[in-house]
Structure 1
Amino acid sequence: MSTRTSTLDTVVFGVDVQSGDVRGDAPSYAVVAFDVRTAPGAVRANQNAERSGDGEHVDRDVVSLRKLRRLIDRERPAIVATDNVYELAADKDALVHLLRELPSETKLVQVTGAERPEPLSRVASRHGVPYGKKPMKEAEAAARLAAANVGHEVSAFTNTTTVKVSRGRSTGKGGWSEDRFTRRIHGNVQGKAREVEDALRGAGLDYDVERTEKYGGLANAVFTVEARPGDIPVSRLRRGDVRVEIERERRDGIEFRPLAKRRDRVIVGIDPGTTTAVAVVGLGGEVLDVLSTRTADTAEVIEWIVERGRPIVVAADVTPMPETVEKIRRSFDAAAWTPERDLLIDSKQHRTREIGYDNDHERDATAAALFAFDHHEDQFERIARKVPATVDRGEVIARVVSGGESVEAVVDDLTEDETTEEEEPEHAPRELTPEEKRIKHLESRIDRLESHVEDLRETVSTKDDRIAEYERELSETRREERREARERRLVARLERENDRLERELAEQREETESLEDKLERLKTLWKLDHSNFADVAEGRRDLVPVKVIEQFTKGAIEAADGSFGLAAGDVVFLRDASGAGRSTAKRLAATDPRVVLRQGGLSDAADEVLFEHGIPVGPANDVSIQEIDELAIAPESEVEAVVADWEERAEERRRQQKGAMVDRLISEHRAGYDEAGRADGTGG
């Protein structure tokens, strides 16, 4: 029975060195595109294509290493197969570089094994693949083997991928617009990071993210995604303010992973029934796995066994073998084992005493497999002693036990290496004539020149694309600069308008405050002029408002005038009348009060000024002043009495002043007359 359950349904490249060496100059490679889908082959320019009878399509060509890489990039095959990966790379570093440059969906496969590869002829013979010594034949054999899932994938990277979203340009070194420029870049990085995160979340991928926050957004965001680059719905990007880089995580070394999961030869014990139990035992007698199920059918049981190994022997614990077990045995073409009589429970318990199991069915299946191993153990050891180290021991045991072949015949068959083809004499090629050598030389030169021309065309195309990209970036930058210039002009205009409005607002606030002060004064005056003071003296209408000045100083007078205003005809109460001079008295006299009620004595100078201005002054103790909040009132009659008393005293004071003035004039006249008489000699 074949160990391969399926083949690839896609294009596979087989590659082998045609001439030269990758460590030298200009190696060439034989390339075979093997396509089992009957689609046109991958090597488009080659005319040596053929279609086999079973629908396979094979293309062949000889190309340089550079052209081979371009061919892989263009066609993106599922597998690039070779018998030795170091025919494509000079060393491990070059191999890592090659693996990094391969398309994400393309695998590099070494069909001859892992670190210690076998000869390609032996691997091809083992799997029934046509083989020839020429490079093109070896390339085709490698392609067919890889298409049949033979070989090891070469990997230098894990399945973890890093997606880094970062700034695509420097934020600059200064300038009046640096903050706006930096904020724009960081904002664009943040927006792109959100797009990447939405794409990863939409694809259902597991990821971790580290963000570096900066002014206006993000400086970068690093996503660690558990997937290959080809499975991530994000592309590399480097345009304008943002750059997106995708990098697979590097392994410590080079890893070789088999394309098909290895399934070693095993012994299987089965206990059928309502609950089916299966036990898998290795050729060394170790229990590899146990299953018990009430729901799985025969096909599911077979699939479970296939995933764990290739049975050599299928065993049961009863005789004869149940029909279900026999059916499974025939599906694997394995040998059968049953005991001479049904195994006793004590025997099964004793044989499985060191094995863990969940129920009696698992115990019975495990016991059947272990007793089958005990039966064949000596045979396995004899076979192992006869098998060379380079031959698969499990394959020999399988063919001897289940197929009845001899050990020697199987070993000879597996180690046969197409010696017939090697020993067949080959006709020596005839010597080329000088003209033929010249033609061959020119054809080789033409191929090199054509390859060089193609490389130059690709270089020109790449540079044209780069120039176009730069022109797009330049155009975008210019548009951005124009937009920023318009924004700057708009901002400047708005700033000027804002300054103007702020000045107007300040002026309005000052005017409002002035009007509010004026309103408060008017309210106070209105209260003074219109209050009927009903809460003070109900039924009395002979009250007058009194305006209180705390001290007889200019500051106090100004404060009172600013607070409630001083007008002609006011009754003024000086709470402290001492200390005022002539200028202070003149300031008070300028308001032309009706009367000044004082508490404390006036200075002579102040009293003289008020008297000269005809302003009555009287003691506050003669008036019953009552203060209510910021207001004060006094009886009109008492105020009039103070005024009348002052007028009497003022009249007496004026008479005294007149008498004193008359006496002074008489005295001055007499003094002048006497002085004149003495002058003319008539004076006595």
Structure 2
Amino acid sequence: MTARTVRALDRPVFGVDVQSGDVRGDAPAYALVTLTPLSAAEEDAVPEAERPDVDGPIARVDRDVVSLRKLLRLIDEREPARIATDNAYELAADTGELVQLLRSLPDGTRLVQVTGAERPEPLSRVASRHGIPYDSDPMAEAEAAARLAAANVGHEVTAFTDETTVKVARGRSTGKGGWSQDRYTRRIHGNVKKRSRQVESELRSANLEYDREVTEKYGGYANAVFTVSARPEDIPVSNSRAGDVRVEVERERRDGIAYEPLVQRRDHVIVGIDPGTTTAAAVVGLDETVHDVYSTRTADTAEVIEWVIERGRPTIVAADVEPMPDTVESIRRSFDAAGWIPDSDLPVDEKLHRTREFATDNDHERDALAAALYALDDHADQFDRIAEKTPPRLDREAVIARVVSGEESVETVIDDLRDDAGDGGGEGSADEGDGGGGDSDAEPERTEEEREIRRLRDRVERLEGHVDDLTDKLDDRDDRIEDLETELSEAKRQERIEARERRAVSRLERETDRLERERDEARERADRLAEKLERLKALWKLDHSDFADVAAGRDLVAVKAVEQFTRAAIETADREYGLAAGDVVYLRDASGAGRQTAALLAETEPRLVLKEGTLSEAADAVLFEESVPVAPADDVALQEVDDLAVARESDVEAAIDDWERRARERERQQQSELVDQIISEHRAERS
């Protein structure tokens, strides 16, 4: 860790630890240590006596005890580059509160858990490994966390992906406005479209990858959503609201909490390999941290090696069977790592027991992980002895890797690492002096260096060959991508042609359906008119004298039917076959008519009105006053043909005669009632 580490952040680093209380209970107090980077001139001005004892950044250190509310306020005000803690849940009671805290952090501020990911180590162990002073006092723990985070140690705690949604939408409702509604709506949608284009131009200028979804509305856009492959602080657009348009920037939420290393370290690791039809690999750290497991049915050895390279530098390559399979041996040689195999094939029950605390997707991954863990167990004592001899400021894993895979002594490796760091002489020379004379060791040392150089050159050649293979494969993939893009372009062009053809066919099919419906309707109308014509012919025959000659002796008369005793039904019957004076009219439903409807029927001067049902008093009075004969339909034998009917002339005349008789009786009764009324009124006047 150097002074450049904190300066590269350009902003303070906060170290936080619970001083008192509990985040799940009453308001806790926090020990807060702030590392503020100094400029180069400020560093030069620091007296030698005031420089830190440890190999770390020269920064201004401020210490304070604050409440959670004040801590959050300081975060908003100072916008630190990192907030370091040994456990993220010291700042939040549960996952929901932790997500809210992460959402509230300023852009560019990271919450860092310096002790690891889901299974954190003790802070004392991490601090010791990196040469950071440690004490169990909360303020000292906060400072240790801050210095570790400044040195890129730890994992960023995040609940969001590296994708950000930028939404451009209406800033006000389209339901109001001083102008006409259409002009008001068109203006808002036009402004949204204009702002969307500005945002898209800014994203393109920043060389950001994005997808766009637009909802088009009258006059422009209702909204436009950009999914950008970047964090909010890398996007040249921020939350805003101006007039008709608002812009909202929000990171995409993960399913849960994730821990991402601050830097992709290539730690020294132990690799377990289970070859076969399904090849599996497991990567385990020297501290027993399971970094990753992997299985594939299609990848070749080169792809497995590439997967391992991305996750660390193998110190040991292990198998779960004896002897070591050729595939595992090939992978071991490619890394020039030490090999490990058991004395005999590992039993399944022992592999199940050793991997019970770790999740694997299949038996192959379990076997690979078991091989790596048993190799770690077999070397655990050796690792502890090496760690005890390694000074705190040296990379213990680097020492372990060289001792185990290079078969060097611990002292030789330590001296080499000190020389590489510019810290040789003194202590290292004294240690070597205890081991014997200098002249006798000179030639073996040079031989060892030559052997090391040859080993490294061979390894470089193997890796360069592997790089060439990967480059060729990458070129092949690029060519394949180009061919697929050409095919995709052609497929899209063909799809557009087919889409136009489908639209044309759909349009013609709709036109054909419309013409067929019109044809069917015309045919139905023609059939109805033909039937009506036949009925009119029959009616014409009944009404004309030549038909009377034909029907002589049959005593028939035409009857014209009206569906209901309503004005509309009377007008419909008159329109279809005419109502003339002297017609016999048949009311299929005589109820409900009033005086006006009865007067309309009386104007046609029918010879006789046959009725089904009961006339209203008003209609009966009008027809009686107009001397229109009315008789029940049951009094006349009718033969109906659709809307037409015929009846015997003798029945019609009998019905008329019966009505006239009843009419005379009704008039006599009315006159009698009138005389009685006059006599009653006269008596009333005399009394």
TM-score range, shorter chain: 0.3 to 0.5
TM-score by length of 2: 0.42
Which is richer in helix?
A: 2
Larger Rg: 1
